[in-house]
Amino acid sequence: MKISSSYLYNKSLQNIQTAQSDVAKTREQIATGKSLVRPSDDTSKLRNIEMLESQVRKLDSFDRNAAYLQDRYGLEETVLSSASDIIIRIKELAIQAANDTLSGADRDIIAVEITSLRDEIISIANTRDVEGNFIFGGGKTDIEAFVKSNVTGKVNYQGDNRETSIAISNTRSLTKNRDGTTIFQTAPRQEQTFTLAGISGVGKSNFKVGSAVIEFSISANDSTEAIRSAIQQSLESSGISGTAQAVVAGAAG
């Protein structure tokens, strides 16, 4: 078989061009510090790199979510600790108000402080995060979770019971927003609070269990839970075994 000189020339030229291309590629890899400069270099390696980069981006997102939740839970812990301190103070005032030696004026002063403390709890229940979202409104983060009527004194929950979550790993998500009723209220929404008409300041009430007279103190604008708690405390201090339950008949208004 005879091989022409033109074939040999073209073949040699092709080899030279390939070598030059390899040299250029090597120089580019050295200059950039990367073994893969363009998709055509090695498609299988490139696919693996893209998968790894996608996984890194996902892990970065999980890290950001975890850091966000850490800040959010820290905020919740701080404000709920403040609310707990206020509730302790309200209980102390309720005990003081039950003292028979207090005058009506003294009880009025206590009632003013209790009202102020309740307003502080409402403010805490309407805490916002750094993005301006209400953290105890469930899925409704753009409106106040709790609003007190200036007319009736009732406190109404404007949020909902949705709790949104965000992922911190491929298999785990944690709650971001909380339903305010699970934290600040135990009664259903339609029985949240009511006003005790005709009562001013703090007053004492009583009822009988057999021959025993059970006395308890209540104040204007007390919630059903507050009244139930006062009755329960009186039952226990009287040595009577039983559980007080708050049941309100009819629609709230």
- 175-226 pLDDT, tens digit each: 888 888 888 864 344 333 433 333 344 455 544 444 454 455 555 555 556 6
Q: What residue numbers bound the domain in which 147 lies?
A: 50-186
Q: Which two tokens stand for residue 27?
A: 């120089």
Cβ neighbours of 226 (radius 10 Å): 18
The answer to whether residue 137 sits within a structural domain is yes
pLDDT confidence of residue 173: 84
pLDDT confidence of residue 134: 92
Amino acid of residue 196: L
Q: What are phi and psi of 81, to 5 degrees?
A: -65, -40
pLDDT confidence of residue 41: 54
The answer to whether residue 22 sits within a structural domain is no
Regions of the chain with pLDDT less than 70: 1-46, 49, 185-228, 230-253
pLDDT confidence of residue 1: 42
The answer to whether residue 245 sits within a structural domain is no
pLDDT confidence of residue 128: 93
Whichever domain contains 69, its CATH number is 1.20.1330.10
Cβ neighbours of 67 (radius 10 Å): 11
The answer to whether residue 93 sits within a structural domain is yes
pLDDT confidence of residue 21: 58
The answer to whether residue 205 sits within a structural domain is no
Q: How many C-alpha atoms does 224 have within 13 Å on its Cβ side?
A: 17
The span from the CA of 93 to the CA of 87, in Å, is 10
Sign of CA dihedral 180, 183, 185, 190: positive
The span from the CA of 143 to the CA of 164, in Å, is 16
What Rg do the C-alpha atoms of the chain give, in angstroms?
35
33: three-class secondary structure by DSSP: coil
pLDDT confidence of residue 167: 86
Strand partners, 212: 209
pLDDT confidence of residue 2: 44
The answer to whether residue 68 sits within a structural domain is yes
Could you give the number of structural domains in the chain? 1
pLDDT confidence of residue 113: 92
pLDDT confidence of residue 239: 55
Q: What is the pTM of this model?
A: 0.53
pLDDT confidence of residue 40: 55
Element (H, E) at 203: strand 202-209
The answer to whether residue 214 sits within a structural domain is no
Please provide the DSSP assignment of 141-191 as one string.
-SS-SEEE-TTT--EEE-S-S---EEESSSS-EEE-S-BTHHHH--S-GGG
The answer to whether residue 33 sits within a structural domain is no
Element (H, E) at 204: strand 202-209
Q: Helix axis angle, 43-97 relative to 104-125, nearest 10°?
A: 180
